[in-house]
């Protein structure tokens, strides 16, 4: 895929994005999790998805979350993205404490501030690419006009290189194209945070790399990106790598290409990336 337009969420140009994506900025984390825990069930039959995690994520960074199957990556992504709520602990995202929000308020917060990308795309099959994107815009801004939704959706699809395919249904698009629609949907609301849970997991290697490059470009435009992956090569290309193990943060390191490498931070009570 060749994208000629630099990838920016439609409103990114109106933001002045001057922060360095790779600066360790514990003083101004976008995400601050303290003692974050998600448990299902009680007592001896309880399952811990995320177990007392302390983690700061700097604004504007591309962070890989890695770890074995069942280590809590998706659970952590769902909490940070406001899809799920913790059983205990505190979670501040973009200055707002979201761990105590009720379902409706959390859904509203998520629609306005977060873009989510899943492994299996999660597009609505009866809606065209453009309609899928427009729907997300409508959730984020219920008072906006249809014509404005249309033009923002068209712009977002253009950004991911799918301007010509906007009237197609998901079934008329390849897996890679569907994932690009999902990314267009995620960026159309100009989120501060993108949570991508194995977005390359269903794609061949070349297509997966193209999708990853879109996430890199988004980070470059100033969006914070959480990239959950089993691909060690892509993880190393992120600014930071958070390793999950048994629901906990087992370690944090800088990606291979990150300037100002921080090294392993096992010594810190709170993992900082
Ligand atoms: N709804 C649920 N009810 C009970 N246990 C759950 C639920 N969701 C996740 N878990 C458990 O939480 C743990 C972490 O699951 P999670 O999906 O976060 O792992 P993961 O690291 O994303 O794994 P994978 O790499 O396979 O996607 C697992 O033991 C899982 O069985
Ligand atoms: Mg998972």
More confident residue, 11 or 13: 11
Count of domains for the chain: 1
Whether 72 lines ligand 1, by a CB cut-off of 6 Å, is yes
How far does the chain reach from its first CA to its final CA, in angstroms?
31
- Strand-pairing partners, residue 244, are 249
Q: Residue 204 falls within a domain, yes or no?
A: yes
* CA-closest candidate to residue 69, choices 176, 181, 228: 228
Note the pLDDT tens digit of each residue in 193-241. Answer: 999 999 999 999 999 999 999 999 999 999 999 999 999 999 999 999 9
Return the number of other C-beta atoms located less than 10 Å from residue 26's C-beta: 14
Residues with Cβ–ion distance below 5 A, ligand 2: 74
Q: Residue 54 falls within a domain, yes or no?
A: yes
By residue range, what is the domain housing residue 93? 15-40+47-124+191-263
Nearest CA to ligand 1 atom 11: 49
Mutate to test the pocket of ligand 1, among 65, 73, 246 (most ligand atoms within 8 A of CB): 73
Q: How far apart are CA 49 and CA 60, in angstroms?
A: 26
Nearest CA to ligand 1 atom 17: 74
Note the pLDDT tens digit of each residue in 130-183. Answer: 999 999 999 998 888 999 999 999 999 999 999 999 999 999 999 999 999 999
Nearest atom (ligand 1) to Cα of 244: 21
- The ligand that comes nearest to the alpha carbon of residue 84 is 1
62: domain CATH number is 3.40.50.300
Q: Residue 154 falls within a domain, yes or no?
A: no
Q: Are strands 96-97 and 29-40 parallel, antiparallel or unpaired?
A: unpaired
Arithmetic mean of pLDDT, 97-117: 96
């Amino acid at each position: 895929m060749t994208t000629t337009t630099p990838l920016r969420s439609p409103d990114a140009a109106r933001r002045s994005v001057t922060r360095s994506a790779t600066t360790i900025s514990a003083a101004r984390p976008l995400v601050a999790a303290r003692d974050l825990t998600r448990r299902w069930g009680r007592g001896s039959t309880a399952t811990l998805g995320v177990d007392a995690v302390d983690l700061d994520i700097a604004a504007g960074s591309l962070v890989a979350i890695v770890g074995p199957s069942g280590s809590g990556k998706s659970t952590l992504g769902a909490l940070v993205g406001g899809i799920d709520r913790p059983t205990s602990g505190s979670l501040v995202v973009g200055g707002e404490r979201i761990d105590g929000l009720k379902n409706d308020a959390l859904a509203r917060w998520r629609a306005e501030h977060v873009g989510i990308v899943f492994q299996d795309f999660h597009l609505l099959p009866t809606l065209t690419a453009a309609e899928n994107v427009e729907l997300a815009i409508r959730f984020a801004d219920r008072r906006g006009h249809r014509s404005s939704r249309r033009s923002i959706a068209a712009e977002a699809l253009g950004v991911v290189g799918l301007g010509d395919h906007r009237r197609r249904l998901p079934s008329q698009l390849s897996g890679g194209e569907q994932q690009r629609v999902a990314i267009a949907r995620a960026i159309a609301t100009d989120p501060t945070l993108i949570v991508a849970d194995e977005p390359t997991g269903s794609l061949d290697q070349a297509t997966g790399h193209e999708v990853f490059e879109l996430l890199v470009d988004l980070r470059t435009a100033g969006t914070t990106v959480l990239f959950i992956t089993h691909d060690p090569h892509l993880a190393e290309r992120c600014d930071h790598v958070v390793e999950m193990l048994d629901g906990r943060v087992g370690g944090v390191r800088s990606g291979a290409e990150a300037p100002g490498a921080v090294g392993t931070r096992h010594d810190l009570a709170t993992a900082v990336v």
